[in-house]
């Protein structure tokens, strides 16, 4: 097997595992709903979208706890650039899909880069990417 073909296989294996692990979210459109998603994630996403037209929403959220400093709360992700990239162009389902895929790939890519820097073996990098991308924290 040529080195390009092996590299393509080692890259596609973690991507296929990601697709299989998150098939309900990515392929069937099912969203994992819990209390945090309904009370924190969706309201924060809607305020991020509102801030595009009214920047004053960034400072204070009158809808939460009788008023809450929105910008000062790290859970809102207001200063996180990826939140803005994902929140503005799509609806909440697209935002959630992008959030899951981007952060899973970020973790898998970081683990693969670390394993590559330690061992210089493509198989080690692929195994690290699979372990990081399919860990219990991401898959629940």
29-65 pLDDT, tens per residue?
Answer: 777 777 778 888 888 888 888 887 787 777 888 777 7
pLDDT tens column, 21-38: 888 877 887 777 777 788
Least confident of 9-23, 74-88, 123-137: 9-23
Determine the straight-line distance between the first and last CA of the chain, rounded to whole angstroms: 36
**Tell me, what's the pLDDT at 140?**
61
Q: Which residues contact 51 (CB under 8 A, 6 or more apart)?
A: 57, 58, 78
DSSP string computed for 19-73: HHHTHHHHTS------HHIIIIIHHHHHHHHHHHH-GGGGT-BTTSTTSB-TTT-
**Tell me, what's the pLDDT at 113?**
95
- Alpha-carbon distance 21 to 133, whole Å? 9
In the chain, where the domains are located: 1-30+90-140, 33-76
Contact 133/14 with Cβ under 8 angstroms?
yes
**What predicted TM-score, i.e. pTM, was given to this entire model?**
0.78
């Amino acid at each position: 097997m040529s080195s390009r073909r092996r590299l393509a296989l080692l890259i596609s294996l973690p991507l296929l595992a990601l697709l299989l692990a998150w098939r309900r979210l990515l392929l069937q459109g099912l969203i994992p709903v819990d209390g945090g998603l309904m009370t924190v994630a969706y309201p924060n996403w809607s305020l991020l979208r509102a801030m595009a037209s009214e920047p004053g929403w960034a400072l204070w959220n009158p809808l939460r706890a009788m008023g809450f400093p929105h910008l000062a709360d790290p859970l809102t992700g207001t200063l996180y650039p990826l939140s803005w990239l994902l929140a503005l162009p799509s609806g909440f389902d697209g935002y959630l899909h992008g959030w899951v895929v981007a952060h899973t790939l970020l973790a898998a890519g970081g683990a693969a880069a670390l394993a590559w820097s330690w061992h210089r073996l493509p198989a080690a990098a692929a195994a690290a990417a699979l372990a990081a991308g399919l860990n219990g924290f991401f898959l629940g």
